[in-house]
Structure 1
Amino acid sequence: MQKMMYAANLHAPNDLRYEQVPIPELGAEDVLVKVSACGVCGSDIPRVLTQGTYHFPTIPGHEFGGTITEVGESVSKDIIGKRVAVIPLIPCRTCKFCEVGQFALCEHYDFLGSRNDGGFAEYVKVPEKNLVFVPDNVDEESVAFLEPISVALHVVSNNEVKVGEDVAVYGLGAIGIFVAQWAKAFGAAHVFAIDLDPKKVAVAKEMGLVDAICSAEEDAEAIIKEKTNGNGLDAVFEASGAGVVFNQAIALLKSGGRMGLVGRPTKSLEITNPTYEKILRGQITIKGTWSFEFKRLPHNAWDIALEALSSGKIKTAPIISHRLPLSKTYDAVKIMADHSEFFYKILIEPALDEK
């Protein structure tokens, strides 16, 4: 008889059940990861509550890591017991984008947590190629952040932030706060980390982002103009998903400036005529970024992200607001959807159900 585990299993939109399901059976090149922590991403809110996944039932959750407990027949048993982060994207490796290493644009990809079972479970089946082995000094909670940290690295590198530039990040969710930290690590002179929530701004300042601004209490435009001597910004990142920010951010860019889009708007985006004119006359570059880099050469983005996490260049602990057991996964999603209490990053930790 197949062994069982607990999981938060999505049977239909808004039908997430904490229940027993079979522990996955491994293919020859798979490993079984016992989940230590899985982050709840903003994209999990519509996925769980309204839009659903690509088939039912599906176990959501794509920001996770844990310990290898079992391996397929083609995988060395020497890695059993190793701690890992998991790359959730499973590219086809045969389409025209995969052939040149652009796995984020794969035409036939699989994805743990939306197209296949993910990290809101005690155990997950993962291809060996999707493992990132982590050093002992990286704690189990931090491992769950490696996916959003890698996304943020992709955003900043994709928009070519340079030493000495003045940069702003609108929206201090997990991706935004990591984009801001990466911009600082890339050598930006000023990183204006902007959010409406004073608590998130306070956390940003605690993490060393001294130019963080609460736009509900301060005039962000005036502060930026003062600190840049009226020159404006070299680059701005829209990580809030708020339509009004697009126009505000473009107005603050220098001619020849760059806008990086990563926030996903929930309402229609209206571009005003002055904004459109500024894009034309200022020859503004607007670049979207999706997912993370996965190619191994010439640089491995996940290894770079792991080194930054291990060295303390990128910090995670201050943004953890909740640690909830697996049985409370639906509650976590509802907290984020309803804003019923302050949250920053919510982690699901299956071991908490055992206490």
Structure 2
Amino acid sequence: MRALNLYGIQDLRSEDTSREPVIENPDDVIVKVKAVGICGSDLSRYKKLGPYVEGMTFGHEFSGVVVEAGPEVGGLQAGDRVAGCPTFYCGKCESCRKGELSRCEKLTVIGARHPGAYAEYVKLPAENIIPLPDEVDFDTAAMIEPSAVVVHGMYRTSLQPGGSVAVMGCGNIGLLAVQWAKIFGAETVFAIDIDDDKLGTAREVGADVVINSSGAPAYDQLMGCTGGKGVDVVVESAGSPVTSAQVFALAKKGGEVVFMGIPYADVNIGRFYFEKIVRSELTVLGSWNAISAPFPGKEWDATVHHMARGQLDVKSMITHRLNLREGPDVFDRIVNRDGSFGKVLFYPELG
């Protein structure tokens, strides 16, 4: 079986492995991977952190076809089109007992301590399998997991129809946040980035106003657009130490800031930005993972629902469709900024 295995920092290898998954538990489901995407967290682990387990098969955003199911699996059979929720929770800690599954003390995903989806086949428990309606193709379904991450964060806010939202950072999470803000009823969505290509895609997927903050501060431009008031909800999706400080100035008095990006570095907040938390009485929200009770959660149902109805456009976000064997080179190119990359999908069937 062909797989991408992570051995160390910037040491990703395309290998033929004998570790093809087999049914071990009565609720196991084996899926033939049709499409699998690169997540921003994959890039951070590749570039900065290294694997949890040396040589682990990487990847967790995927879609595919069921090839085999354990004897206690009902409602699934070989040939079914599916996606997968890649997350495992313990079910025993205090958070799990309260139904707050995303706060599980032992939360983990495939590709970390369990073999992931950068492979020809992947295995998950039946409760992690997401059946696909006919309207959702494999490319779109590979984006269900990142979409669920975004809507998990949006559910944490109190955004109401007619409200205003600013999305800081127009990578894949930011572009999905633009769309979910519209689905939640936002009247005006501002998309902020320093890359005109990303801002163009943001406008294509629904942003009303795009702001390039490379020339003038995002704060100055947004205040000019809002009469000095700011917006109801700010989404930090860039995962940058700089933007993680700046977002506090974009919310209106009594507004909300929700963090979806992970900076992987210290965040130094200048007095001007920090005082906005206090003087504007902001609500600051963290958002982690994409699951809730009952597992996997309403995030997944909502995503499939809106994808099936064409209300989530992920096709315009996909810039590369590649052979899985190209993985090591592509990861290297992305982290070294050798080319322009949006969402990258691999197709294990290509060999």
Q: CA deviation at 1:92?
A: 1.3
What is the SS of the residue equivalent to 1:97? Answer: helix
- Specify the alignment match of 2:293 in structure 1: 295
Q: Is the 8 Å Cα contact of residues 39 and 346 (structure 1) preserved in structure 2?
A: yes
What SS does the corresponding residue of 1:79 show, helix, strand or coil?
coil
Q: 2:22 aligns with which of 11, 25, 37?
A: 25
Amino acid at match of 2:143: F
Q: Hey, what does 2:214 align to over in structure 1?
A: 216
Query: What SS class does the counterpart of residue 74 from structure 1 fall into?
Result: coil
SS of structure 1 residue aligned to 2:117: coil
- 1:62–1:119: 8 Å Cα contact kept in structure 2? yes
Which range moves more in the overlay, 73-82 or 316-325?
Answer: 73-82
Contact 1:118 1:124 in 2 (8 A): yes
- 1:168 paired with 2:166, answer yes
Which residue in the other structure is 1:10 paired with? Answer: 6
Give yes or no for contact 1:92–1:110 (8 Å, CA) kept in 2: no
Aligned residue in 2 for 1:186: 184
The answer to which of 14-23 and 132-141 deviates more is 14-23
Contact 1:155–1:179 (Cα < 8 Å) also in 2: no
1:90/1:247 CA distance change after superposition, 3 Å:
closer
The farther-off stretch of 181-190 and 261-270 is: 261-270
Task: Give the Å deviation of 1:330.
Answer: 1.2
Unaligned residue ranges in structure 1 (runs of 5+): none
The amino acid of 2:93's aligned partner reads C
Which residue of structure 2 lines up, in the alignment, with residue 135 of structure 1? 133
Instruction: Find the partner of 2:121 among 113, 119, 123.
Output: 123
Aligned equivalent of 2:97, options 88, 96, 99: 99
Residues 269-291 of structure 1: CA distance to partner in whole angstroms, max 9, x if unpaired?
11111222221121111111011
Amino acid at match of 2:278: L
- Residue 48 of structure 1 pairs with residue 46 of structure 2: yes
Aligned to 2:310: 312
Q: 1:155 aligns with which of 145, 153, 156?
A: 153
**Bigger mean CA offset, 148-157 vs 261-270:** 261-270
Distance 1:225 1:47 in 2: 36
* Counterpart residue identity of residue 316, structure 2: P
TM-score of the superposed pair, with normalisation by structure 1: 0.93
Residue 203 of structure 1: CA displacement?
1.0
Q: CA deviation at 1:293?
A: 2.4
Structure 2 residue matching 1:212: 3-state secondary structure: strand
- Amino acid across the alignment from 1:349: Y
Cα distance in structure 1, aligned partners of 2:256 and 2:337: 32
Residues 268/129 of structure 1: CA separation in 2 closer, same or farther (3 Å cut): same
Separation (CA, whole Å) in 2 of partners of 1:78 and 1:282: 51
Task: State whether residues 7 and 51 of structure 2, in contact with CA within 8 Å, keep that contact through their aligned partners in structure 1.
Answer: no
* Number of positions where the alignment pairs a residue of Structure 1 with one of Structure 2: 349
Task: Please say if residues 68 and 84 of structure 1, whose CA atoms lie closer than 8 Å, have aligned partners that are also in contact.
Answer: yes
Q: Which amino acid aligns with 1:188?
A: A
Q: What is the CA distance between 1:332 and its match in structure 2? A: 2.1
Q: Aligned partner of 2:20: which letter?
A: I
Cα distance 1:11–1:277, how it changes in 2: closer, same or farther (>3 A)?
Answer: closer
Contact 2:174 / 2:237 at 8 angstroms: preserved in 1?
A: yes
Q: 1:218 to 1:240 in 2, by over 3 A?
A: same
Q: Deviations over 1:184-223 (max 9, x none)?
A: 1111121101111100111111222231222235664444
Deviates more, 1:132-141 or 1:210-219: 210-219
Q: Is the 8 A contact 2:241 2:263 kept in 1?
A: yes
| Alignment partners' CA distance in 2, 1:294 and 1:52 | 28
2-side partners of 1:77 and 1:257: how far apart? Answer: 44
- State whether structure 2 residue 341 is matched by structure 1 residue 339: no
Cα offset for 1:48? Answer: 2.6
Question: In 1, Cα distance between the equivalents of 2:287 and 2:74?
Answer: 36
Secondary structure, aligned partner of 2:275: helix
Report the Cα distance in structure 2 between the residues aligned to 1:297 and 1:112, rounded to whole angstroms.
16
Question: Aligned partners of 2:237, 2:96: CA distance in 1, in Å?
Answer: 27
Q: Measure, in 2, the Cα distance between the counterparts of 1:86 and 1:101.
A: 20
- Taking the aligned partners of 1:298 and 1:48, their CA distance within structure 2 comes to 27
Tell me the equivalent position of 2:270: 272
